[in-house]
Amino acid sequence: MKTVTIEMPEVGQCAATECAYNRERMCHARAITVGDGTQPMCDTAYMAGMHTRASMIAGVGACKVAPCRHNNDLECQADLIEVALSGGDPTCMTFEKR
């Protein structure tokens, strides 16, 4: 496997405790994708009856929410994001409309 080293915003906390990547309210995916163009929901969330054993802390690999002021060229430029449930969906709470 090749190693890719890249700076990414950290996923600070995630309240989606039913997600397979969540343990102790932290996201342990390598990187998440956020958004569908207008809504900043987590596109990586996977609600399943299991949880990863990984210990890494996730970064934001890509974000499709161009109207967010932290977004530049479909990449997040925030230092850190927080994810909480909004209407039952894991959602980036760091989103700020331009």
Smallest separation, CB 53 to ligand SF4 (Å): 25
| Of residues 48-87, those binding ligand SF4 (CB under 6 A) | 60, 63, 65, 68, 70-71, 76, 78, 81
Count Cβ atoms below 10 Å from residue 54 Cβ, excluding itself: 13
Residue 4, both tokens: 């890719």
Q: Give whichever of 16 and 60 is closer to ligand SF4, judged by the CB atom.
A: 60
Give, in degrees to the nearest 5, the angle at Cα 32 between 82 and 38. 75
Rounded to whole angstroms, the Cα distance separating 56 from 5 reads: 14
* # chain residues binding ligand SF4, by CB under 6 A: 15
Q: What is the DSSP letter of 5?
A: -
- Residue 95 binds to ligand SF4 (criterion: CB under 6 A): yes
Binding site for ligand SF4 (CB under 6 A): 34-35, 40, 60, 63, 65, 68, 70-71, 76, 78, 81, 92, 94-95
